[in-house]
Amino acid sequence: MGRIINKLSLKGDRILGIVVIALMLISLLVVYSSTGSLAFRVRGGDTSFYLLKQLFLLVGCYGVILLTQSCHYKYLLSFATFILLASFGFLVLAKVMGATLNDTERWIKIFGISFQPSEFAKLAVIIFCARAIAFEQTEKGCDDNVLLRMLWVVPILFLIFMENFSTSALLGGVCLFMLFVGRLSLKTFSKIIGGLVLLVVLLVAALFIVPEKQLGKVGRLLTVKSRLEAFFVPSKANKDDSYQSDQAKIAVARGGLFKVAPGTSVQRNFLPHPYSDFIFAIIVEEYGLGGAGVVMLLYLIILYRVGVIVRRCTRMFPAMLVTGLGLCIVLQALINMGVCVGLFPVTGQPLPLVSMGGTSLLFTSAAFGMILSVSHTFSEEGEREAKEKLKVATTEEEI
């Protein structure tokens, strides 16, 4: 019995493992509440359907964490290029023959399983960038040749950009931060930032200069323009463009400071996707700012524990891997929460491990599993296990 419990327990950083389980429990509560109106529209009032569906997904996600935490990071280092090429192939396949769901990103189906290739691409890009930064380390810092290696990720970022601007911007920002932490020279880093600022200015200018008919032919640029207008110039925006953010603000206002009223959300009947993109607004409405503060605190704890794990690492690749994965999860959470309270334009980013959905949950779980794997490897327990394996190997050789 003890062995079974040991195999089913999360290894590595225990605090991080507790936070992961806490977010999963919160997900069950909030998804059950936020899908009430959806259940009446689609399932004829069967409110338990989405609860059981989310429960099974979370159990599967826990299995993914157990599987990935048992995989040593050296295998990710070895297959980083292959993983990146596979993600590029999936993105191209989605562009050519993928299906559009909820008028957003394209999905592909493999062996009867549908998933968003952009979620897989996020992991692939971070793993590859961590490898590139680790391979270009010198005594003085990270060599500028790392930029040539990271050119491999540009086509992937472009393909993601054509489907979801916010995901590509989030992933690009994470890559930049990894370069900064990886000790790229400030001179080179400043040039990159300057070039990106110029590129963003030109892109925003093009959004308001190019006719809308032409913008509609290039990815989702027309959607990006409408969301920026609704955020920065609400007086000129259409009511449809600002509808989601307005309903989310109403949910936040209804929540108040402290409130414990699960299942009483009113705005779930008006928000287009209260169980995914705007699930944080439902949390505020039903649990108040106090409950929302607890959720925010959990993500800040993740950020802190990621920093602790990085400081324990004695190798550059696992340190960069944990940095990229942890930052991507936390930034995505902050963006989701910022959108719900009106700090950012509408982006469509789900709340990691809380929002309903399969692809985001599974790949976020894989990211947590990788972080826990690195944490376990560089922990005292992991070092003891490594020494015991070494002793067994030595004994067998002697025999």
Which has more pLDDT, 290 or 395? 290
Per-residue pLDDT band for 367 (boundaries 50, 70, 90) equals very high
Task: Please give the structure tokens belonging to residue 218.
Answer: 């290039």
Element (H or E) spanning 76, and its range? Answer: helix 73-78
Residue 137 forms beta bridges with which residues?
A: 142
pTM of the predicted structure, to 2 decimals: 0.89
Q: Residue 330: what pLDDT?
A: 96
Q: Give the residue, 210 or 248, on which the prediction is more confident.
A: 248
CA distances from 160 to 163, 168, 177 (A): 5, 6, 19
State the average pLDDT over residues 292-317: 94
Task: Write down how long the chain is.
Answer: 399
pLDDT for residue 83 is more than 90: yes
pLDDT value, residue 305? 96
* Model confidence at 221: pLDDT above 80: no
d(CA 397, CA 374): 28
Q: What is the pLDDT of residue 271?
A: 83
Q: What is the pLDDT of residues 8-67, one digit of tens each?
A: 778 888 999 999 999 999 999 999 888 877 888 777 777 788 889 899 999 999 999 999
Pure H helices in 164-185: 165-181
Q: Classify burial at 356, counting beta carbons within 10 Å of its beta carbon; exposed 0-12, middle 13-18, buried 19 or more.
A: buried
Q: Find, among 154, 146, 20, 160, the residue nearest to 90 by Cα.
A: 160
**Which tokens is 398 given?**
């002697």
**Reported confidence tier of residue 297, pLDDT bands at 50, 70, 90:** very high
| Average pLDDT rounded to a whole number, residues 348-353 | 89
pLDDT for residue 123: 94
Start-to-end Cα distance in the chain: 32
Residue 253 tokens, joined: 């206002």
Helices (H) and strands (E) in the chain, counts: 18, 3
Which pLDDT score is estimated for 370?
95
Query: Tens digits of per-residue pLDDT, 185-217?
Result: 899 999 999 999 998 888 888 877 877 766 666
Mean pLDDT is lowest, of 93-102, 144-153, 347-356, 382-391, for: 382-391
Average model confidence (pLDDT) across the chain: 84
Q: What is the dihedral of CA 17, 116, 243, 288, to 10 degrees?
A: -10
72 — phi, psi (to 5°)?
Answer: -70, 145
